[in-house]
Amino acid sequence: MIETKGSNVTAITVTYNRTVTLKKCIKALLDQTIKPKNIIIVDNNSREDEKQEILLIAEESSQIHVVFLDENIGGAGGFETGMRTAIEKYPADWYWIMDDDAYPRNDCLEQLLFAANKAGLENIGFVAPLIYGIDYRDYQYYHHKFLKGAALSDTPIAESYEDYNNINKVEANAFVGPLISKSAVESVGIADGSLFIYGDDTEYTYRITRRLPGYMVKSAVIDHQDPPMKDNGSLSPENWWKEYYSNRNRIFLIKKYDKKKFTRVCGLVEMIYKILGLSLSAAVKKKYRGYHRIRVKLLLKALIDGLKDNRGKTIDPLEYLKAIQMIHK
């Protein structure tokens, strides 16, 4: 085992009706060569049968602590709750954040701590593992990124495995295994639950790297499920609500972080043109037949809510899915 210091780690994961993947995630955490001192599971008000499964999972180790929420407040709200709980009850040197469908390889934490301790990375905000997509069997390059242009567009730091160094500077990263330092939490606070879902990871890690550097470590690898896509690579109608939050929250990001009025306005105009263009396409293209109205409505709502700073759960995923099912009928 590699010698490391400051290895008091609290891991945090958020789940919602996915104990099948959660079990794998928790097993991967318990199998680490350097184990987290505490593991927090935040349940976003899953079904009763799923809650009972979570209680059984928690019995596997005294390290596991469960927070049951009375309402689904999204991944962002779950991570905010998890981090707040960790700071209050299980304070640590590091906070290891990951989705419940992420499975760190057994030396992942050891490699992250080694990079933080031995590679000259002092006063860091976070170190993140390289993410491998287990469904499509390729690395998820898009999760390790710089934010560029007026619209702070996601730009991968590399396009191939060979292009990575072992230690790579990043501006933002997914919540798929970033190891957040105590210094970062003390400097910028915790995740922003008002985003509900999508973009909360980008906002938080970008908030950190405005103050402290963030890095991706190639030798630390975490396996991750790939998102469900249609054959042409686009989201299915059942998942368009996620696109709504992604667009809305990107507008929030531009408004918050671009301090120069001219480029901020340019970024917002770029988002307006993008969303209006998608709306026009949704209104006329045959592939959206039967879904024209709901897609246009979602896109325009994202634009309006973003510009008006309407935060929180402004689209209820369950209600949205009911509306989609009515169209199927």
Q: Is 110's pLDDT higher than 90?
A: yes
Q: Is 236's pLDDT higher than 90?
A: no
In order, the DSSP letters of 196-256 are -SSSHHHHHHHHHHTTS-EEEEEEEEEEEPPPP--TTSSPPGGGHHHHHHHHHHHHHHHHH
Task: Provide the pLDDT confidence category of residue 70 given band limits of 50, 70 and 90.
Answer: very high
Q: Are residues 290 and 205 in the same domain?
A: no
How far, in Å, are 8, 79, 262 from residue 11 at the CA level? 10, 11, 41
Q: Are residues 250 and 220 in the same domain?
A: no
Residues 6+ apart with CB under 8 A from 126: 173, 178, 179, 180, 181, 184, 205, 208, 214, 215
Of 72, 118, 112, 70, nearest to 94 by C-alpha is 112
Is residue 139 a part of any domain in this protein?
Answer: yes
What's the CATH number where 46 sits?
Answer: 3.90.550.60
Is residue 85 a part of any domain in this protein?
Answer: yes
Is residue 231 a part of any domain in this protein?
Answer: no
Q: Are residues 211 and 256 in the same domain?
A: no
Longest dimension (CA), the chain: 60
Domain span at residue 149? 9-224
- Among the candidates 202, 224, 246, a domain finishes at 224
Q: Is 269's pLDDT higher than 90?
A: yes
Q: Are residues 187 and 277 in the same domain?
A: no
Percent of the chain scored above 70 by pLDDT?
95
Is residue 232 a part of any domain in this protein?
Answer: no
Q: Are residues 155 and 87 in the same domain?
A: yes
What pLDDT sits at residue 235?
76
Task: Provide the pLDDT confidence category of residue 118 given band limits of 50, 70 and 90.
Answer: confident
Is residue 164 a part of any domain in this protein?
Answer: yes
Helix (H) and strand (E) counts for the chain? 10, 13
Please tell me the total count of domains within the chain.
2
